[in-house]
Amino acid sequence: LSSGNIRRGAFILFEGVDRCGKSTQCKLLVQSLQSRGIEAELWRYPDRTTAIGQMIDKYLQSKEDMNDAAIHLLFSANRWEKRDLMLDKINSGVTLVIDRYGHSGTAFTAAKNVPNLDLAWCKSTDAGLPAPDALIYLQMPVEETLKRAGFGGERYEKTEFQKEVLKNYEKLSNDSWNYLDASKSIEDLQEEALKIALDAIEECKKGKAMGKLWD
Ligand code: TMP
Ligand code: MG
């Protein structure tokens, strides 16, 4: 960072199984940061707007099939293609609140239990990408997510598969993750998420260096 007075923004990541409330919390967090005068943007992966993202979208909607390694690499490439813009934004002081990232990438592909596509292989394609400054994991049993509206249509939205995904998140997790009980009210979760985000933003302002996946 060349400029002396611009402090970098933070990378706040939300992860968790489908329908745990990530998108709602991401949106609310961006709004409350902005209302405090903090520059913040909402991003999500997959980013379905790029050419790679459109291929991913067709796969998720089961309009096209693809080799499991190939689709994993596309999800990963979708993060790499946005890497420079991510860093530019963050280094210019913008806080990015991101809905899913490489943790989803690994947890989902590895849940397929395909030979060779184990956790280590899945992680390797994302190694070196910017790492989140705070990871907020919304914890919820798969049975609870099934009761929520909107679960259904896409390729991975199957109970048994989601249970494998959840096990993989547990294997990936470490002490730095912030676990929130996703069964709490939207407001309570928002309050907890905001506190975590504000702490991370403060640390980044003080000069905390950006980390790399999966260091
Ligand atoms: P979305 O519902 O948040 O748009 O995510 C679409 C699906 O893609 C969801 O089931 C999780 C899955 N996914 C992967 O399999 N690999 C990835 O790298 C990402 C970001 C998501
Ligand atoms: Mg979905």
Give the model confidence (pLDDT) of 101-157 as tens digits. Answer: 999 999 999 999 999 999 999 999 999 999 999 999 999 999 999 888 877 789 999
User: Is there a domain that residue 176 lies in?
Assistant: yes
Do β-strands 11-15 and 95-99 pair in parallel, antiparallel, or remain unpaired? parallel
Q: How confident is the model at residue 1 (pLDDT cuts 50, 70, 90)?
A: very low
Across the range 176-190, mean pLDDT stands at 98
Distance CA 91, CA 13 (A): 17
What's the pLDDT at 153?
Answer: 84
End-to-end CA distance of the chain: 21
Instruction: Measure 132 CA to ligand 1 centroid, in angstroms.
Output: 17
- CA of 75, closest atom in ligand 1: 18
What is the total count of domains within the chain?
A: 1
Q: For the segment 106-122, what is each residue's pLDDT rounded down to a tens digit?
A: 999 999 999 999 999 99
User: Is there a domain that residue 1 lies in?
Assistant: no
Distance CA 7, CA 207 (A): 7
Q: How confident is the model at residue 4 (pLDDT cuts 50, 70, 90)?
A: low
Q: How confident is the model at residue 167 (pLDDT cuts 50, 70, 90)?
A: very high
User: Is there a domain that residue 210 lies in?
Assistant: no
Instruction: Measure 18 CA to ligand 2 centroid, in angstroms.
Output: 6
User: Is there a domain that residue 3 lies in?
Assistant: no
Among protein residues, the one whose CA lies closest to atom 10 of ligand 1: 156
Whether ligand 1 lies within 6 angstroms of the CB of 14 is answered as no
Distance CA 92, CA 110 (A): 35
Mean of pLDDT over the chain: 96
User: Is there a domain that residue 21 lies in?
Assistant: yes
Instruction: Measure 170 CA to ligand 1 centroid, in angstroms.
Output: 17
The domain spanning residue 180 has which CATH number?
3.40.50.300
pTM reported for the whole predicted model: 0.97
User: Can you read off the two tokens belonging to residue 173?
Assistant: 């997790």
Q: What is the ipTM of this complex?
A: 0.98
Across the range 79-89, mean pLDDT stands at 98
Q: For the segment 33-60, what is each residue's pLDDT rounded down to a tens digit?
A: 999 999 999 999 999 999 999 999 999 9
DSSP run (H or E) holding 14 = strand 11-15
User: Is there a domain that residue 64 lies in?
Assistant: yes
What's the pLDDT at 2?
Answer: 47
DSSP 8-state code for residue 210: P
Instruction: Measure 182 CA to ligand 2 centroid, in angstroms.
Output: 17
User: Is there a domain that residue 138 lies in?
Assistant: yes
Residue 193's domain comprises 11-203
User: Is there a domain that residue 186 lies in?
Assistant: yes
Closest by Cα among 23, 24, 41, 30 to 96: 41
pLDDT at 191 over 70: yes
